Amino acid sequence: MVFATTFVLEQEPLQWWELPAAIKGWVQIAGAVAAFALAIFCLAYAIRRPAYASKTWSRQTRGVALLIALCGASYVLALLAVIGRGMGIGSAARNPGLLQAQPPPPEPVGTFSGLVDILLFVAGLFAILAVTLPLLVDLCTRIRFGRVLAIARLSVKEAVRSRVVWVFASMAIIFLFADWFVPYKPEDQVRNYVRVIYWSLAPLFLLTASLLGAFSIPADVKSQSIHTIVTKPVERFEIVLGRFCGYAALLTVGIGFLTAISLLYVARGVTPQAAKESFTARVPIYGDVLSFSGTGRTDKGESVGREWDYRSYISGPRVNMPQAPRQYAIWSFASLPVGFSETRLPYFEFTFDIFRLTKGQENRGVITNFSFVDGRYQQVPQFQAARDKMRDERARAQDALAKAADAKSKQGSSTAAIQTWRSEQQDALEDSLIDKFGIYEVTAEVLDYHTQVVGGDDKDKVGRKLARLLNMLQDPAQVKSRTREDGATSFLLNVMVSVDRQSAEQMLGVAKRDLYLLAAERPFWLNFIKGVMGMWFATLLMLGLAVALSTYLSGVIAWLCALFLFGMGLFSDSIRQIAEGTSYGGGVVESTVRILGKLPGGARLENSPAASVITGSDEVFRFFLRLFARIIPDVGRFDLHAYVANGYDISWMQVLFLDNFVVLLGYLLPWAVLAYYLMKYREVANPM
């Protein structure tokens, strides 16, 4: 048993099956912004033709004009489709007589919901191509990486000459004196060290990146040194790219150097308790679905009145309500590793919360039942019926074993021999019951916010039984038996957790990531570096924002704007909840009225003209807030220190590449296009 705080991850990383939908949404949103910019350009072009525009259109200009026309036609068709759908044209009536016992499976992510969705995607794609075509032509025909490298080297030399790298030396204060102010229990040593390092490095490099990116180009313009560059055969976008690459290289070297020192600082003198808890990198396999039974809802358990609803709760059998259904938290696994053996046993770990309705017994946790069940039992009554049959058969077999043991005792067999024989027969009985019913049950004492393994001290014994169950469930014949008529396959394994009658007065809080199969354990130092890579992505995000804004704004304004956008990104989840109307207490105006009027947050406002004005004002505010939410970065996904601090492996592909790098690239690309145009058409002769 390992003592720990639980690993909480409120925002799930981007999944591969979500990538098509994310790309579609990105194209539609970025395309809408690009189309708006194109509309302004076309209007300005029609009012007054720019002086730099030639009388005859080039091949590139004709291509841009064609893409603009296709974009406009697609948006017009989308508008006509919306009008037609509003008039009932092409809408299909649903059959009210078709009822389903279970909700239908979700549509494949990334598919289009209709004609309007397709047209918006096509229009956005044409708009993006129209805006990026000049940039792509310049990148393919006019860029010279030697010039970019020269500007990057110049940027590094200027940064070193300005002594900005001496800011990195401030980390020595953390290394020397952090222990004075960071008390810890032995098992929390690594966790607290990791938090101190990450919370110190992140502000240091973010501030450095914002200063370097925001003041470089404005300083060149103010000192007129940029004239020396633009008069040479150097493209303006190469200046922007060179500045970004140079500062990115400098920051990368600084992060790498301090990461090596920080790793030595964290790893020194690790206590055995801390080594077991978090000086590792667990590779967990989480359940695909967490559902509930007996709580009134399949997607949530009971509420205990806590504002933070990350966990749902289940209670034990109620003495005053004997007919009430038993409450279960059910983790369903669609697939699991194969080939378990004596040298490769499956271990299920868990971390649950306890909400006590009574004081309970001193120094005792909650007695909890874990049932590992074949996925073919799709309903709880089916499982309960099979479990009751299994228990009856076990009871009869144990009675027969007891009688046989008495007979052996009368025949003169030694007590040790009888115990050995009985243990072997009991083990064979459990194996036969697993093979016949596909169910294995374990009872464990659950402690509050403690990371534990199912089976505790007998985890190897439990692991052997689970290995037998999982190997059996993945047998081709068993897989075929779970295949439905429509070709779909039911879940491979259901892990059903319930509170035992001994602890019926207590409640158990669970979340999707609170139970998992431990697939492997990897070295801590590699996971530490992965966590720093998330911080590196955030640093590049800040640097890209600052450099893009500095192509048009002055140094101070660009720096403040970059800090503002990045700071708002720290609260992106809360901003999106308000924008989508899912926040508790209503919108901004409604929440203000509730606070001033001392009204409860969950109560509805009375139907009145004043209430209509309040809700209408919130809708207008949400519209503009949704637009604002599109331009702020989702900074929270780059904070990976929780993985490292709690000893969970950071996936190279899913977390670092898909959830961090792809998202960073998708956010910085529009800013790069904006920086290209701002720098290209900026008047650099006037330093003001």
Q: What is the pLDDT of residue 124?
A: 92
Strands 506-510 vs 312-315: parallel, antiparallel or unpaired: antiparallel
How far is Cα 618 from Cα 583, in angstroms, rounded to an integer?
A: 12
Q: What is the pLDDT of residue 181?
A: 57
How far is Cα 336 from Cα 326, in angstroms, rounded to an integer?
A: 27
* pLDDT tens-place string over residues 582-639: 776 677 777 777 777 777 666 667 777 777 777 788 788 888 888 888 889 999 899 9
Whether the CB-CB separation of 376 and 481 falls below 8 Å is answered with yes
Residue 379 dihedral angles phi and psi, to the nearest 5°: -120, 145
Residue 156 dihedral angles phi and psi, to the nearest 5°: -65, -45
The pTM (predicted TM-score) of the whole model is 0.83
Q: Identify the CA nearest to 276 among candidates 227, 349, 226.
A: 349
Whether the CB-CB separation of 467 and 418 falls below 8 Å is answered with no
Q: At what angle do helices 380-410 and 415-437 cross, to 10 degrees?
A: 160
How far is Cα 672 from Cα 460, in angstroms, rounded to an integer?
A: 55
Q: Which two tokens stand for residue 561?
A: 């704007």
DSSP line for 567-628: HHHTTHHHHHHHHHT-STT-SHHHHHHHHHHT--TTSPPPSSHHHHHHHHHHHHHHHHHHHH
Alpha-carbon separation of residue 563 from 150, 267, 335, 543, 570 (angstroms): 29, 33, 44, 10, 11
Q: What is the pLDDT of residue 619?
A: 83
Alpha-carbon separation of residue 356 from 44, 314, 506, 573 (angstroms): 68, 12, 5, 31
Q: What is the pLDDT of residue 290?
A: 92
Whether the CB-CB separation of 276 and 186 falls below 8 Å is answered with no
Return the CA Rg of the chain. 31
Contacts of 230 (CB under 8 A, 6+ apart): 236, 239, 684
Q: What is the pLDDT of residue 15?
A: 84
Residue with structure tokens 């660009």?
558
Q: Identify the CA nearest to 581 among candidates 611, 626, 612, 613.
A: 626
> How does DSSP classify residue 160?
H
How far is Cα 676 from Cα 680, in angstroms, rounded to an integer?
A: 6
Positions of the chain with pLDDT lower than 70, given as ranges: 1-10, 50-55, 86-111, 165, 168-187, 230-231, 307, 319-322, 360-363, 477-489, 584-585, 600-604, 684-688
Contacts of 62 (CB under 8 A, 6+ apart): none
The sign one gets for the Cα dihedral 68, 71, 73, 76 is negative
Annotated domain spans of the chain: 10-89+109-141, 147-280+524-569+641-688, 283-522
How far is Cα 459 from Cα 464, in angstroms, rounded to an integer?
A: 9
Q: What is the pLDDT of residue 106?
A: 43
How far is Cα 576 from Cα 579, in angstroms, rounded to an integer?
A: 5
Whether the CB-CB separation of 285 and 333 falls below 8 Å is answered with yes
How far is Cα 535 from Cα 639, in angstroms, rounded to an integer?
A: 6
How far is Cα 525 from Cα 263, in angstroms, rounded to an integer?
A: 7
Q: What is the pLDDT of residue 3?
A: 37
Q: Which two tokens stand for residue 681?
A: 């058409």
